[in-house]
Amino acid sequence: MFDKILVANRGEIACRVFKTAARMGIKTVAVYSEADRRALHVQMADEAVCVGPPPSTESYLVIERILQACKDTGVQAVHPGYGFLSENRQFASALEDAGIVFIGPGSHAIEAMGDKITSKRLADDAGVNTIPGFDGIIEDTEHALKIANEVGYPVMLKASAGGGGKGMRVAHNDAECRDGFERATNEARSSFGDDRVFIEKFIEQPRHIEIQLIADRHGNRVYLSERECSIQRRHQKVIEEAPAPLVDQEMRKAMGQQAVALANAVEYHSAGTVEFIVDANKHFYFLEMNTRLQVEHPVTEFVTGLDLVELMIRVADGEKLPFTQDDVRLSGWAIESRIYAEDPLRNFLPSTGRLVRYIPPDVSDQVRVDTGVFEGGEVSMHYDPMIAKLITHGATREEAIQQMRTALDRFYIRGVANNIAFVAALMDHPRFRAGRITTNMIAEEYPDGFSAADVIHDDPAMIISVASAINYRYRQRAAQISDQLPGHEYNVPSDWVVLLDGEFYPVKVAVTDRGHDVEFQGQLNAVRSDWQFGQPLFRGTFNGAPLCIQVERRDLYYHLYHSGSESKVAVVIPRIAELWKYMPIKQPPDMTKFMLSPMPGLLTSLAVKPEQEVKTGEEIAVVEAMKMQNTLRAVRDGKVLTIHAWPGETLAVDQPIVEFE
AA letter at 350: P
- What average pLDDT does the segment 596-606 reach? 89
Which of 3.40.50.2300, 3.30.470.20, 2.40.30.10, 2.60.120.10 is the CATH number of 207-453? 3.30.470.20
Which CATH architecture group holds 460-481+489-580? 2-Layer Sandwich (3.30)
Confidence of residue 400 (pLDDT cuts 50, 70, 90): very high
Whether residue 626 is predicted with pLDDT greater than 80 in this model: the reply is no
Helix (H) or strand (E) holding 416: none
Give percent helix, percent strand, percent coil of the chain, each to the nearest 5: 30, 35, 40
d(CA 537, CA 551): 6
Q: Say yes or no: domain 4-103 is CATH 3.40.50.20.
A: yes
Nearest to 166 by CA among 229, 88, 238, 83: 83
Q: How much is the mean pLDDT over the chain?
A: 94
d(CA 297, CA 20): 14
Question: Model's pTM, two decimal places?
Answer: 0.85
Nearest to 31 by CA among 6, 12, 56: 6
Is-contact 651 645, C-beta < 8 A? yes
Strand runs (DSSP E) across 164-299, as ranges?
Answer: 166-171, 197-201, 207-215, 221-233, 236-242, 270-278, 284-290
Give the chain's largest Cα–Cα span. 93
Higher pLDDT residue, 599 or 471?
471
DSSP conformation letters of 303-330: HH---HHHHHHHHHTTPPPS--GGG---
Whether residue 195 is predicted with pLDDT greater than 90 in this model: the reply is no
Give alpha helix (H) positions in 390-540.
397-409, 420-427, 430-433, 441-445, 460-478
pLDDT digits 0-9 by tens, 98-153: 999 999 999 999 999 988 778 988 999 999 999 888 877 788 999 999 999 998 89
pLDDT digits 0-9 by tens, 566-586: 999 999 999 999 999 898 888
Helix (H) or strand (E) holding 357: strand 357-359
444 in helix, strand or coil?
helix
Is-contact 126 262, C-beta < 8 A? yes
Backbone angles phi, psi at 222, to 5 degrees: -130, 140
Is-contact 135 120, C-beta < 8 A? yes
- What local confidence, expressed as pLDDT, does residue 409 receive? 96
d(CA 169, CA 153): 13
- What average pLDDT does the segment 457-484 reach? 93
Residue 97 makes CB contacts below 8 A (sequence gap 6+) with: none
Return the CATH number of the domain spanning residue range 594-660.
Answer: 2.40.50.100
Is-contact 47 29, C-beta < 8 A? yes
Residue 601 makes CB contacts below 8 A (sequence gap 6+) with: 350, 381, 623, 624, 625, 626, 630, 650, 651
Residue 581 makes CB contacts below 8 A (sequence gap 6+) with: none
Domain spans, the chain = 4-103, 132-201, 207-453, 460-481+489-580, 594-660
Backbone angles phi, psi at 465, to 5 degrees: -70, -45
Backbone angles phi, psi at 132, to 5 degrees: -60, 145
DSSP conformation letters of 100-113: -EESS--HHHHHHH
What pairs with residue 429 in β-bridges? none
Which positions are catalytic? 288
* Apex 14 CA angle, 57 and 313, nearest 5: 115
Nearest to 262 by CA among 132, 135, 105: 105
Nearest to 427 by CA among 451, 413, 447, 409: 409
405: Cα separation from own chain's centroid: 16
d(CA 567, CA 572): 16
- What average pLDDT does the segment 319-344 reach? 97
H and E: helices and strands count for the chain: 17, 39
d(CA 313, CA 26): 10
pLDDT digits 0-9 by tens, 415-443: 999 999 999 999 999 999 999 999 999 99
> Sign of the C-alpha dihedral, residues 610, 616, 619, 620?
positive
Whether residue 173 is predicted with pLDDT greater than 90 in this model: the reply is yes
- What local confidence, expressed as pLDDT, does residue 518 receive? 98
Helix (H) or strand (E) holding 643: strand 638-643
486: Cα separation from own chain's centroid: 59
Confidence of residue 164 (pLDDT cuts 50, 70, 90): low
Is-contact 234 218, C-beta < 8 A? no
Confidence of residue 89 (pLDDT cuts 50, 70, 90): very high
pLDDT digits 0-9 by tens, 365-375: 999 999 999 99
pLDDT digits 0-9 by tens, 263-317: 999 999 999 999 999 988 899 999 999 999 999 999 999 999 999 999 999 999 9
Which of 3.40.47.10, 3.90.930.12, 3.30.1490.20, 3.30.590.20 is the CATH number of 132-201? 3.30.1490.20
